[in-house]
Every structure is written in C-alpha cells, then in structure tokens.
C-alpha cells in the first residue's frame, strides 16, 4: 500500500509560520499533481493548494498570498509554506498525490494556531 509521509505540523501563534513536508515514493511522484487538503473539526475537507508536474499552482482564496506550495522532483517531496497563520487555519492537513487516475494520501498532520 502506497503511503505518503507528512511532517512539520505543530502549535504556532497567530501571525507565525510553519512549513509542512510530504514525502512520496518515486514510483508515483513523477508526472503527478500534488497538493494539500485540510479538515477542521466539524467541517468538510477543503482543498488548500495543488501543483501540477508542469508547475501550475492553484490556491484556495482563503490562503492566497499567505501559503506557498512547492515541490522538489529530485527528492519526491512536496511542501506547504504557511505564513501569517490565523486561528481559522487550525486543522489537520493532508497531502495527496494524483498519479495515473489514482489518489494517494498522507496520514495527516495537525496544525494549531493559537495564542
């Protein structure tokens, strides 16, 4: 079973920054779209950002200008740099990879923004 491995979540004060990382197997990373969803308690899962293998990026309106998605194809890694964090960014963040019609998920990492 293919598993993505996430890291980088934690507790941060409002206005702070975090960088999430996600490692994927090489076999599914190339020619793929990668991205991040998040799910807050009592809310539906929300697409935060995605990036195609041709470097096209897209962001949810709620994070534009604050979050940046990037990927390192040599290391099979995808990142989410989160700046100017707000309490409403508190959620479990999940990375995913779309490859040849299949979607693979990470286990989720908790981000809590609180003073």
Q: Is 8 left (phi over 0), alpha (psi -120 to 50) or beta?
A: left
Structure confidence at residue 101 as a pLDDT band (50, 70, 90): confident
Q: What is the pLDDT of residue 29?
A: 79
Please provide the average confidence, as pLDDT, over all residues in the chain: 94
**Residues 46, 91: Cα–Cα separation, whole Å:** 10
User: What percent of the chain shows pLDDT beyond 70?
Assistant: 100
The per-residue pLDDT for range 28-62, each reduced to its tens digit, is 877 789 999 999 999 999 999 999 988 999 999 99
Strand ranges (DSSP E) for 32-76?
A: 33-39, 46-51, 57-59, 67-72
1 pLDDT above the threshold of 90: no
Q: What is the pLDDT of residue 3?
A: 85
The per-residue pLDDT for range 7-20, each reduced to its tens digit, is 999 999 999 999 99
């Amino acid at each position: 079973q293919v598993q993505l491995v996430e890291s980088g979540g934690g507790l941060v004060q409002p206005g702070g920054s975090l960088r999430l990382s996600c490692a994927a197997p090489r076999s599914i990373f190339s020619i793929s779209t990668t991205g991040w969803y998040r799910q807050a308690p009592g809310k539906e899962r929300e697409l935060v950002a995605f990036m195609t293998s041709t470097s096209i990026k897209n962001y949810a309106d709620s994070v534009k200008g604050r979050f940046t998605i990037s990927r390192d194809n040599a290391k099979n890694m995808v990142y989410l740099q989160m700046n100017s964090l707000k309490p409403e960014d508190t959620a479990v963040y999940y990375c995913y990879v779309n490859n040849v019609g299949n979607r693979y998920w990470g286990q989720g990492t908790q981000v809590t923004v609180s003073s």
